[in-house]
Amino acid sequence: MTISDAGPAVVASPINRELIINSLQGALQAKNAAATLGRDLAHQIDRIYFVACGAPNRVMLSLEYWLDHARTDLQVKRYFPAEFLAMQPHLDERTLVILASKSGTTQETVQAAQFLRSQPCRTLVVTTTADKPLAQGAQHLFLMGETEQAHTGIYIVLQGLMAGLLDARHGYPLYDQVMRSLDALPAVLVESAEVSDARGRADAHTYRDDHTLYHLASGPVFTTAYVFGVCMLMEMQWLHSVPFEAAEWFHGPFEILDAQTPVMVLLGEDPSRPLAERALTFCRKYTNRVMKYDSRDLPMTGVDPEVRALFAPYALQAALNRFAEHLAAERNHSLDTRRYMWVTDY
């Protein structure tokens, strides 16, 4: 089904190297200040609550994963803002609540920030510009500047914060590698898109008439499965596009698989990789309609080998963005088309 047959033909946007790299310079500058703040807060907090909607929430999922893996003694939890307001977890002066939104206007996130102004906890906000509602009243504010790479920008800032915090609190042997590799990440996005463009065009042509796709990933790479499956294919292409955790796949969802079902399996380089590999092996046994996207196939030039696993979700996302661009062209459905979001009340 094409959506806009009567309008001009949709074409895949070209890879704009300068735009991608330049638009993330604000995030790179903010990440250094964030690392310094992380060091300052390292012994002043006992718990971190991540609060955001959509893609920023899933960026926080990857940070939550690595904080857990670092065996920090900090309590770390992640919430959607409406869930956070309904739950109202324990807040005191040793609690840091981190909120993020690309637009800075996400209603639920702004409401959570307003609620926190009267609470005894610390608050930190990441958004684009200081004029956004979410930026108002934050104790600590990090601005990325306007960018279409916002979820990567949020990651850059918050990974800097976490690196500084972990280093000061526990000693973090990968601190220098992480900070250097963050500086390389904008160019890695361009590189991953360029090496994946032809493959994305071919996959988009192959799967252009499918209306249901499943996406499997494990650990921090579920960030990518969610952002691609939900934020791009559901929101921007109106497809039935469902992400599953690989650890969940064999406990019910795998019954949906048949020879006609397209499945995308995303493989990262973190300790959860065997879970996704198991799912891939199973899927290939029962259908040949499997797309495998593996971060090991991406050069990630400039990323230290010791921290490739942290960066894999974002390199994979850049690769999949080309699939989405070409799928939009194949289906003649612009990635900018919305039925409800920013169009009607909800």
Q: Which amino acid is at 1?
A: M
Angle at 297 (CA atoms; ends 153, 250), nearest 5 degrees: 85
pLDDT at 137: 87
- Which phi and psi angles does 73 have, rounded to 5°? -85, 5
Contact 237, 328 (CB under 8 A): yes
Please tell us whether the domain made up of 184-331 is placed in CATH 3.40.50.10490: yes
From first CA to last CA, the distance across the chain in angstroms is: 26
Residue 339 confidence class, pLDDT cut points 50, 70, 90: very high
**How confident is the model over 91-112, as a mean pLDDT?**
96
pLDDT at 8: 86
Assign residue 219 a region: left if phi > 0, alpha if psi is -120 to 50, beta otherwise? left
- Nearest Cα to 244, choosing from 262, 229, 255, 259? 229
Alpha carbons 131 and 76: distance in angstroms, whole number: 29
Contact 317, 227 (CB under 8 A): yes
pLDDT at 7: 75
17-172 sits in which CATH class?
alpha beta
**How confident is the model over 324-328, as a mean pLDDT?**
97
**How confident is the model over 264-270, as a mean pLDDT?**
98
pLDDT at 6: 61
Alpha carbons 222 and 265: distance in angstroms, whole number: 10
Alpha carbons 143 and 148: distance in angstroms, whole number: 14
pLDDT at 5: 52
DSSP 220: G
Enumerate the CATH 3.40.50.10490 domain ranges in the chain, comma separated. 17-172, 184-331
Alpha carbons 229 and 112: distance in angstroms, whole number: 26
Averaged confidence pLDDT in the chain: 96
Q: pTM of this prediction?
A: 0.95
Per-residue pLDDT tens digits for 14-66? 999 999 999 999 999 999 999 999 999 999 999 999 999 999 999 999 999 99
Task: State what percent of residues in the chain have pLDDT above 90.
Answer: 95
Burial code (b: 16+ CB inside 10 Å, e: under 16) for 24-36 equals bebbbbbbeebbe
- Nearest Cα to 58, choosing from 200, 164, 190, 158? 158
